A and B are shown apart, each in its own frame.
With several copies, the nearest count.
Chain A
Amino acid sequence: MDVTIRVQEGDFSLAEEYAKLTGRPEAGAVVAFVGSVRDVASGLASMTLEHYPGMTEKQLGKIVTEAGTRWPLSAVTLIHRVGELQLTEQIVLVLTVSAHRDAAFAANQFIMDYLKNEAPFWKKESTGAGEAWVEAKDSDAAALARWDAQ
């Protein structure tokens, strides 16, 4: 399994990362997830993403490795941005490549669910009402729980 993991301030290109993973005779299915900064009710001005350098890379590596033990994957790319991001900017990219579409879909969702719960990133939103740290959602913990049953 070819693994690329990056934590960076700059933007990423889905096109470039996808191009790196194509042309593999065994790779019948590629699933890409891109998460972007979306508007919130209070009117988002910008967002700042803080992380825990060192632990972030370690946790992301563990999550991708675990996905590779659960599904037959030939490649995974995981890029997460940090720093200040404006509305509609890209935050996270997950690319999963497999011979089978079910494996590519499941592994991609698994990586996002674990990332949302176990990778040390924190969002602070800046809106017309000022700055505030985003509170963790119960729905993310619930999304994670479904993988334990499998």
Chain B
Amino acid sequence: MTIRILYFARLRDVLRTGEEELALPEGTTLAGLVALLVARGGDWAAEFGGARVFRAAINQDMARPDDVIPAGAEVALFPPVTGG
């Protein structure tokens, strides 16, 4: 299946990308996707594999590590929010 990933704010700046498409096995969880990103090494490993806190949304709802990503989903990864 194919999903779309969006990066926001500091994460987008550090990773130098705001959006990408990725092919994943059906049933991949959010934690599984994050493991794939960490395997890219470099900034990816530093941002998603270490002590840095980040948040995730699946189809515009806040998501947790064991949530399964549906086919065609819009997944967003971003720093803790700071609005208001």
By a beta-carbon cutoff of 8 Å, the part of chain A in contact with chain B is 35, 49-52, 54-55, 58-59, 80, 91-92, 101, 112, 115-124, 133-137
Structural contact, B60 and A135, CB atoms closer than 8 A: no
Q: Which 7 A-B pairs have the closest CB atoms?
A: A121-B83, A136-B80, A122-B9, A55-B60, A133-B10, A116-B84, A134-B82
Q: How far is the CB of B24 from chain A (nearest CB, A)?
A: 21
Alpha-carbon gap, A86 to B60, bound state (A): 29
Residues of chain A contacted by B57 (CB below 8 angstroms): 52, 55, 120
What band does the interface of chain B fall in when counting residues whose beta carbon is under 8 Å from A? 10 to 19
Cβ-closest chain B residue relative to A138:
B80
Check if B78 is an interface residue, CB within 8 A of chain A. yes
1/0 contact string of B30-66 vs chain A (CB within 8 Å) = 0000000000000000000000010001001110000
Alpha-carbon gap, A101 to B8, bound state (A): 26
Cβ-closest chain A residue relative to B62:
A118
